[in-house]
Amino acid sequence: MDFDIRPYDLAAGAQGWLLIVGGLCLLGIGLAFVLSVARNGAAGVAVFANGLSSYASDILSVSPRRVFALTKLTLLEAVRRKALLVFVVFSILLMFAGWFLADANERPELQVSVHVTFLLTSIAWLILPAVMFLSCWALPEDIRIRSLHTVVTKPARRLEIVMGRMLGMGLVAMIVLLLMGVIGLVWINRQLPANSKDQLTCRVPLFGELYFFDIDGQPARQGINVGDVWMYRSHITGNSRARAVWLFSGIDESALIRESRTDAEGRTTELEGLKLECRFEAFRTIKGSEKSIRQGVQAQYTLSANPREEAFGMISQSEPLRALADALRDAQFRTAADKVRELAARIRTAPKELRIDDYRGLTFGLATAANVLTNMKDPRLEAIANLFGDSANAALPVAEELNRETNGEKADPPYTDLSDALETLATGLTENADDLHESLPRLEVPLPSFHISEYHEGADENLTFVPRTLRFAADYETLSRFLSELFEEWNTAGKLVEGTSLKASLIDDFSGEAKISPLNAEVLVAVLQEQLAAGSLKIADSKLTVADGRRWFTFFDDLIRREVLVAKDSEGWMIEKDLINDLTHDKMLRVEVACLNDQMYLGMARPDLFVRKPDRSFAVGYSKALLNIALMLLLIIVLGVTVSCVVKGPVALFFTLTFFIVGQFFHQFMMEKLSGQSEGMGTLESAVLIAQHRNPQVGMDVSVTTQKAVQIADKGLEGILWGFSNIVPDFSAFNRGAAFVENGFDVPFRESVLPAIAIFFGFLIPCILLSGALLKFRELEAK
């Protein structure tokens, strides 16, 4: 199943509905006026006005009491016509279905999928023919046997008759659906094998946005295509800088789950953390070792908080700017300043060496950097953010002028202004290098590697539990930031110095409160003593400070890079970070995925990795899927009753069935055709090409006038197709809930249930008005 769906935009749907329904109402009223005048001459105006006012009066005078009385009558008629016998067929199916569905050797998740698919499909397709026949034949049959005449002679308006019919038949369908749903839920809990019942649950996924890094470490929209015709998944190269990056929003305490873990001594502890589930695709270029074949391709997650990548990554889209982008992303801001000066000099002396795409990339990259730095709302970054914004504003006119030049117009790109702005930016980078380095921290937490099985034989292989408290070996930058923050905090609290020397219990304090290993705590204290003796550190006012006035971050960064502060612990410098407080920003979590095996590839699409929030009961998702089925059945009833108000039963049945088939199987094709996603020529143009035995690249062998005429005709057919696609309901939207449950997921309300509700009510309102008008002005004497 393709889970790559987006939340339903209710506001946009409502706006489109108002336009379409309003247009159809005006068209219908106009057509009725023309027919009235054509039939009655000048008197037709008065006839039309009287009919319109009479119908408006019927709408405003609808009586709920009469509607419910007609609903009760419809319900009794449906029982007399044995509409509930479909429940007997369903019961027989359930009695014998277990003989063919149960398989103890089948994978548990497949057992669940097969049983749920059978159950929901049986419910939907057994009730569907019954409600279709009932809704399409009821009114025409009443007119034929003249039983409707006894109703219309009473003070019951025909609009109320229609509403009573729809509501009564809907109640019949809902009663049958509810009975089937309850019996089906009991059946599936009893029928599933014991080893599959724990899989009968509804996972709650939280999907993110996906982009890639290529083998050079540069951002890209897609990965590598390994030969698939339909490139649903992009692949990343193993043992390279290629990465797939997911950005998850909405990550807070509500996304965390609790799991029980048992250690080697049998002690059970409750851990709070995040659960990641993947469905990656492994692709091999070589057979690999026996262990690799048995275990699968090796992959690794890295949790990352990297504002420098967000700010400066887009600058690397242009090849001449990649060295500058790499320096900015690596926090080498003084080196980046030199690169900016080189770029400014190049633009001043030889601007034509850069292409128009380079200037566009520079404009976009500088604007992105300014936007990200501004949104961080750090006072120390305001000045440099303004400089990036000024440079982007200076680069934009250059790109615009070059675009005019490309179109053959006279242009005068302001290269000097751009060069001056870049010189000012370079100066700002040099002056604000330390502030940028401290304000833009990069924190990367690599998780233990795991294996991707080509066949996904076990569900547990795809799950990774990430504890909220992460203990990991810090890299140079992370260790520098950890120690600088620790020393600034402890200096303020007076925990470092005792009199004129370091505190005697400092080793125990580091290993206890700071959770530094005892061996590394000894190293840290020893280095501090050496730096005090060498004069690099000093004690003043009961505080430990850097003698030359440098910041603690710069001081520790220098020690670590000179390998003065080397860990004695075999695991390295182990530190702890909080998943929510340290690795998420504005509830956003960044997850990088790497393939570790050489000459192997990992394929992934946006839905292939998600955060698995606390599971819900199977009954919750099952109920939502039944709600979608209920809305589909009710819509069938509404359409059937509406059509049966003007035509006889067989015609109404054929019309409703056609609407259902087109909406179920071809609506998506129509939308793809209209949006341009479906490749191909127009209908008439394709017919001409087929008749002439020519391909689309060659084109039609006709005159220019004929070609334009064919294309205009195709545009007209597209207009008809557009109108038809907006009149025919998208019945496939009602199946999405069942597809989620069949695959073990909860049905998301906004993505699946809300569209079904909107489609039903979007057709219910105009169909009630239309059917009431059709029945009101119909001659009931005609059989």
732-748 pLDDT per residue, tens: 889 888 888 888 888 88
- What integer is the mean pLDDT of 20-37? 84
Convert the pLDDT of each residue in 183-217 to its tens digit. Answer: 888 888 887 777 777 778 888 888 899 999 988 88
Which residue among 441, 468, 494 closes a domain?
441
Question: How many other C-beta atoms lie within 10 A of the C-beta of residue 599?
Answer: 11
Q: Per this entry, what is the length of the chain?
A: 783
Cβ neighbours of residue 216 under 8 Å, at least 6 residues apart?
241
Contact present, 143 and 780 (Cβ < 8 Å): yes
Residues 186 and 48 occupy one common structural domain? yes
pLDDT tier at 103 (50, 70, 90 boundaries)? low
> Do the domain assignments include residue 249?
no
Convert the pLDDT of each residue in 389-437 to its tens digit. Answer: 999 999 999 999 888 888 888 888 899 999 999 999 999 999 998 888 8
Q: Which two tokens stand for residue 502?
A: 């370091």
> Do the domain assignments include residue 46?
yes
CA distance 733 to 752: 7
> Do the domain assignments include residue 469?
no
Q: Which two tokens stand for residue 780?
A: 């009931």
Contact present, 75 and 171 (Cβ < 8 Å): yes
> Do the domain assignments include residue 183?
yes
Look up tokens 């049945």; give the residue.
653
> Do the domain assignments include residue 193?
yes
Contact present, 313 and 360 (Cβ < 8 Å): no
Q: Which segment of 38-47, 82-91, 331-340, 435-444 scores lowest on mean pLDDT?
A: 82-91
Look up tokens 């006005």; give the residue.
49
pLDDT attached to residue 117: 86
* 376-to-371, 424, 482, 739 alpha-carbon distances in Å: 9, 22, 21, 41
Which residue among 421, 441, 461 closes a domain?
441
Residues 631 and 759 occupy one common structural domain? yes
- What integer is the mean pLDDT of 457-465? 68
Strand partners, 584: 589
* 126-to-82, 91, 657 alpha-carbon distances in Å: 14, 11, 15
| Domain tally, the chain | 2
Contact present, 745 and 114 (Cβ < 8 Å): no
The conformational region for residue 299 under phi > 0 = left, psi -120 to 50 = alpha, else beta, is beta
Residue 115 has pLDDT above 90, yes or no: no
Contact present, 98 and 191 (Cβ < 8 Å): yes
Convert the pLDDT of each residue in 1-12 to its tens digit. Answer: 455 667 788 888
CA distance 431 to 453: 51
Convert the pLDDT of each residue in 712-771 to its tens digit. Answer: 888 888 888 887 788 888 898 898 888 888 888 888 888 889 999 999 999 999 888 888
CA distance 720 to 714: 10
Helix (H) or strand (E) run with residue 375 in it: helix 356-375
DSSP, res 146: T
> Do the domain assignments include residue 516?
no
Q: Which two tokens stand for residue 596?
A: 């570790």
Look up tokens 């270029």; give the residue.
285
Hey, which bits of 13-132 come out as E strands?
none
CA distance 278 to 343: 43
Convert the pLDDT of each residue in 576-627 to its tens digit. Answer: 999 999 999 888 999 999 999 888 899 999 888 999 988 889 999 999 999 9
Cβ neighbours of residue 622 under 8 Å, at least 6 residues apart?
116, 181, 185, 202, 741
Which residue among 441, 472, 487 closes a domain?
441
Helices (H), 476-590: 476-493, 506-512, 518-534, 552-561, 579-583
Residue 460 has pLDDT above 60, yes or no: no
DSSP, res 447: P
> Do the domain assignments include residue 631?
yes
Phi, psi for residue 242 in degrees, rounded to 5: -65, 135
* 526-to-522, 564, 664 alpha-carbon distances in Å: 6, 11, 74
Domain span at residue 390? 310-441
pLDDT attached to residue 364: 92
The whole-chain average pLDDT of the chain stands at 84
CA distance 125 to 86: 10
CA distance 536 to 544: 11
> Do the domain assignments include residue 687?
yes
pTM confidence score: 0.78
